[in-house]
Structure 1
Amino acid sequence: MRPATVFLLSALIIGSLEAKPNIKNFFSKHFFKDVYGTIDANIKVGDAGKPLILTDLIQQDQIDEAQAAAEVKLDAFLGVKSYAGYLTVDEIYDSNLFFWFFPSQSNFEKDPVILWLQGGPGSPSEYGLFNENGPFFIKDNKLVLRNSSWTTSNSVLYIDQPAGTGFSFTNGGYAENQTKVGEDLYKAIYQFFQLFPNLQPNEFFIAGESYAGKYIPAAAYTILKKNPSDEIKINLKGLAIGNGLTDPKYQVMYADYLIQHGFIDPKSRDALKDFEKQVVESMNNEDWDQASNQIDVELNTINGLTGLSSLYNYLENYSDESDDGIGNLLSREDVRRAIHVGNTDYGDSAVYSYLSSDIPKSVAPLVAELLEHYRILIFNGQLDIMVAYPMTVDYLQNLDFVSAEEYKNAERRKWRYGSDVAGYIKSAGNLTEVLVRNAGHMVPADQPEWALDLINKFTKNNL
């Protein structure tokens, strides 16, 4: 399609919205949901048995038995020790979250524990495990050890959530807001530390990317509120949010960013800015369904205007087709038996549907309160359009938190890795903001060594 035709189409789309109060399904592509493509991991042949639900054993204080049952044993995993199974988080709806835990390869008894959450809504954490920071990756349908794994110096816990994501399942108990997300995650985290009581004193961090920019604050806020009264005190020390959508009112304002990078011309910029005013108006009116659909229209229009195949890293080509490597591995009968998921269906679409109206909502007030109690790392890949660095800075510049003025006046520092400038750091109080060079939406995938250096410095409070 010629550029003039693309612009005409976009102008018609934007111009017609004033007369189209109901714009649902205007486009079929959902850019936040489709960040990672799809993983077809449903079992094709054989019988992998039933899922291993550990909650009953944990509640009966049969911890040794639960650990033994959860241990993953399969030669394909190259001798890497891990534990996997299910934790019940909602008995009414039979909601069970799947976890896969990898003890630190250094000092398991003392190293930090990191919970990794993927985005979406509805993206499974197996993507991060195999494609970003786990102990191995997939090459030619075989597992290969990753030198830059976060498990080299941290214990890492991967959870598929909200219920209905990946291997996690529910009988209708889908999350429709971040309160439910936080409550379910808290129940899973609490049971995890019951299952591994020796790790309760270890420093605990929650990390993730993309839509986890909401999940992470939701989980941390729930911990903050429940820790004082619950028997087990979760030793939460910090949050690490990569390219996270947290405050859409600032973070989906793309027009100025796009023209500054040469992706659109002034005419398109002006049309897009006019439309963005409508998006903000919908947010201010708390018309969340409308705002969510408008964001979809905006991103699809940007995709058409720029012609870029990827809004997640504008220097790379991108395909949203299925991730066959992960899908092929996780659909194998022996793998499913080993990680104790049985014949559980692998899904994500329903999760997005239930949380779609949550997309335009802000959790910035949670972040502001959490900064009074925990260290928070906000890092962004330089090449991401979806959750671009300048708009994340806009949200932080407008964040009403205890060190707000200090942040606005803080000096920016170079972050070096060896002889390379890996990025730039700005800190104030408990907040650390980082730009990661030559990386897109998935920083650990694009710059694995730098990402490992960043998370290790953060957990050691050495940024």
Structure 2
Amino acid sequence: MKLSTTALLAGAASASVLPQQVLQMSEQLMEGWSKPLHELEESFGSLSSDVKDLWNEMSMMFPESFDKANLLSMPKPHKRRPNSEWDHILKGEDIQKVWVENANGEKEREIDGHLEPYSMRTKAVDPSTLNIDSVKQYSGYLDNDEDDKHLFYWFFESRNDPKNDPVILWLNGGPGCSSLTGLFMELGPSWINKDIKADYNPFSWNANASVIFLDQPVNVGYSYSSKSVSNTVAAGKDVYALLTLFFKQFPEYATQDFHIAGESYGGHYIPVFTSEILAHKKRNINLKSIMIGNGLTDGLVQYEYYKPMACGEGGWPAVLDEGSCQSMDNAYPRCASLIQGCYDSESVWQCVPASIYCNNAMIGPYQRTGQNVYDVRAQCEDPSSLCYSEIGWIGDYLNQRDVMEAVGAEVDTYEGCNNDINRNFLFQGDWMKPFHRVVPGILEQIPVLIYAGDADYICNWLGNKAWAEALEWPGHKEFASLPLEDLTLSASSKKIGEVKSHGNFTFMTLHAGGHMIPHDQPEASLDMLNRWLSGEWYA
């Protein structure tokens, strides 16, 4: 039976009151999780008839998508470790107590930000215990006890010259997927094999840089909370606090260049997190550039390129037949109109229908073929693990008690991706928000690299190239008019992709790389990284 959105929201709110025998929860905790649903239901009644009609139309067209609103995402079971198990505990309130004298002789805080609620717990990880590299490692949690949020991180020092090499923060996407997937499947010092053992990665990004892998937002990977983060802006506040406390705890890394890199929904995260950092003039974060790989940043432009990529216009054979391609062509004008409505209003009531319609119309036909949405060249080998068996192996590895003990994990179980978080972000309208609008302000201050594996479908290179060329900034015309030039490995004449750059903006494709380029093309991805960090395209 198909229900209208009014009925669905009422069901979602009432479903938030779980039977007592299912899970014992305090009234305060339950209120924190059910309140957003009740607010959504109440505000629906005050909307215009046009908006109500749109929601009801979408719920009738795609009932399976709206059924997800009936699910209540629950906090992850966990047990906090005693302070005696940590090597360092740093409190944000102690940082906020430090005042300095400025050039005008006035007293001001040494570092900006609302840091009082935060603290950071850290432990040294013995590399020999887990046989993951031989470099210095730290893991731990950024805690916000005021909001009961606890973000897990794992830091690996550079294999080369940690006193001088840059520091990178790596973020996987989702939203709701652990950055430990990036650690153990893509660019970290070890890969996890089918025997659930760690294999040395000679192409790790810590070859010439120290790397922080962060599980965010809360309730992703080893992170946890009794509350939920369901939008990118809120997550950015936590990331700024983490970096501030990390560089205070480890000042030996604070003077080096710092870069943020990530992929997929990182196309949302990274521009917003970067803007949050740059907004604090008195900071201890030496941010020098950002790198977004196969990201979702400007949906209005990018969704137009799902049909070309699926239908043989992206450099690889077509996945869809002519009829399906024509259906996608027919659906795009409505999709574009809905996204434009989201861009104009930035309202959840406009942005959620846009996400649901466009994802069903522009991604759904491809998904139904069974082809891997992250690599147009392959079938989806394991639908339960995002098409990759390795993700299942990583989950098995990170759920081992000795691994969890070694890094200080406090959750009962590790999940590679939390589908509840993904749904929460979508139903808060975050998916289609126009976060590309903050990129021009970033370009005024630091370089930006947009890179894409040319075999990815879900955030394909055609769409990434198109939004980069459409972006309005002072160098727009010069950048957009530039042709792509061949990109070869620095140590040989082998072509690995194409690149173009103007001012602080660079776009790059890497050939035969899917959504996760370091997984598919590890040598090329490390070569790209080293050259980017050296300033080859922006110095």
Distance apart, 1:235 and its partner CA: 0.8
CA distance in 2, matches of 1:176, 1:75: 36
Distance apart, 1:419 and its partner CA: 3.2
Counterparts of 1:56-455 in structure 2, within 5 Å, are 56-59=89-92, 70-73=123-126, 74-78=128-132, 79-88=134-143, 90-139=144-193, 140-172=195-227, 174-226=228-280, 228=281, 230=282, 232-253=283-304, 254-261=306-313, 262-286=318-342, 287-298=350-361, 299-304=363-368, 307-318=369-380, 319-322=382-385, 323-347=391-415, 348-356=418-426, 357-417=429-489, 418-455=492-529
Query: Compared with structure 1, are the counterparts of its residues 391 and 60 closer, same or farther at alpha carbon in structure 2 (3 Å cutoff)?
Result: closer
Query: Compared with structure 1, are the counterparts of its residues 308 and 21 closer, same or farther at alpha carbon in structure 2 (3 Å cutoff)?
Result: closer
SS of alignment partner, residue 181 of structure 1: helix
Distance apart, 1:439 and its partner CA: 0.8
CA distance in 1, matches of 2:129, 2:532: 34
Alpha-carbon contact 2:399-2:414 (below 8 Å) kept:
no
SS of alignment partner, residue 448 of structure 2: strand
Gap regions ≥5 residues in structure 2: 1-53, 69-75, 96-118, 343-349, 386-390
Q: Deviations over 1:119-175 (max 9, x none)?
A: 000000010000000001112211111100111110000000011111111121x22
Query: Compared with structure 1, are the counterparts of its residues 55 and 171 closer, same or farther at alpha carbon in structure 2 (3 Å cutoff)?
Result: farther
Q: 1:10 matched to which residue of 2?
A: none
Alpha-carbon contact 2:454-2:512 (below 8 Å) kept:
yes
**RMSD of Structure 2 on Structure 1 (CA):** 2.8
Q: 2:64 matched to which residue of 1?
A: 26
CA distance in 1, matches of 2:502, 2:509: 15
CA distance in 1, matches of 2:309, 2:201: 35
Query: Compared with structure 1, are the counterparts of its residues 68 and 321 closer, same or farther at alpha carbon in structure 2 (3 Å cutoff)?
Result: closer
**Identity in percent:** 29
CA distance in 1, matches of 2:137, 2:436: 35
Alpha-carbon contact 1:27-1:300 (below 8 Å) kept:
no
SS of alignment partner, residue 125 of structure 2: coil
Alpha-carbon contact 1:288-1:360 (below 8 Å) kept:
yes
CA distance in 2, matches of 1:194, 1:134: 24
Letter matched to residue 85 of structure 1: G
Query: Compared with structure 1, are the counterparts of its residues 349 and 54 closer, same or farther at alpha carbon in structure 2 (3 Å cutoff)?
Result: farther
Greater C-alpha radius of gyration: 2
Query: Compared with structure 1, are the counterparts of its residues 53 and 255 closer, same or farther at alpha carbon in structure 2 (3 Å cutoff)?
Result: farther
Q: 1:6 matched to which residue of 2?
A: none
Letter matched to residue 377 of structure 2: L
SS of alignment partner, residue 260 of structure 2: strand
| Number of corresponding residues | 424
CA distance in 2, matches of 1:256, 1:105: 42
Alpha-carbon contact 1:58-1:195 (below 8 Å) kept:
no
Alpha-carbon contact 1:105-1:154 (below 8 Å) kept:
yes
SS of alignment partner, residue 383 of structure 2: coil
SS of alignment partner, residue 252 of structure 1: helix
Query: Compared with structure 1, are the counterparts of its residues 25 and 119 closer, same or farther at alpha carbon in structure 2 (3 Å cutoff)?
Result: farther
Distance apart, 1:27 and its partner CA: 5.3
Alpha-carbon contact 1:49-1:343 (below 8 Å) kept:
no
Q: 2:48 matched to which residue of 1?
A: none
Q: Deviations over 1:274-314 (max 9, x none)?
A: 2222222222222111112113312122222xx24202111
Q: Deviations over 1:383-417 (max 9, x none)?
A: 11111111112111210012101102224221111
Query: Compared with structure 1, are the counterparts of its residues 109 and 316 closer, same or farther at alpha carbon in structure 2 (3 Å cutoff)?
Result: same
CA distance in 2, matches of 1:265, 1:223: 46
CA distance in 2, matches of 1:54, 1:376: 36
Query: Compared with structure 1, are the counterparts of its residues 26 and 68 closer, same or farther at alpha carbon in structure 2 (3 Å cutoff)?
Result: closer
Distance apart, 1:29 and its partner CA: 12
> Which 10-residue stretch deviates more, 287-296 or 321-330?
321-330
SS of alignment partner, residue 178 of structure 2: coil
Query: Compared with structure 1, are the counterparts of its residues 124 and 54 closer, same or farther at alpha carbon in structure 2 (3 Å cutoff)?
Result: farther
Query: Compared with structure 1, are the counterparts of its residues 391 and 350 closer, same or farther at alpha carbon in structure 2 (3 Å cutoff)?
Result: same
Alpha-carbon contact 1:131-1:137 (below 8 Å) kept:
yes
Distance apart, 1:345 and its partner CA: 4.1
Letter matched to residue 233 of structure 1: N
> Which 10-residue stretch deviates more, 207-216 or 273-282?
273-282
Question: Does residue 1:457 correspond to 2:531, yes or no?
Answer: yes
Letter matched to residue 208 of structure 1: G
Gap regions ≥5 residues in structure 1: 1-16, 31-40
Letter matched to residue 351 of structure 1: I
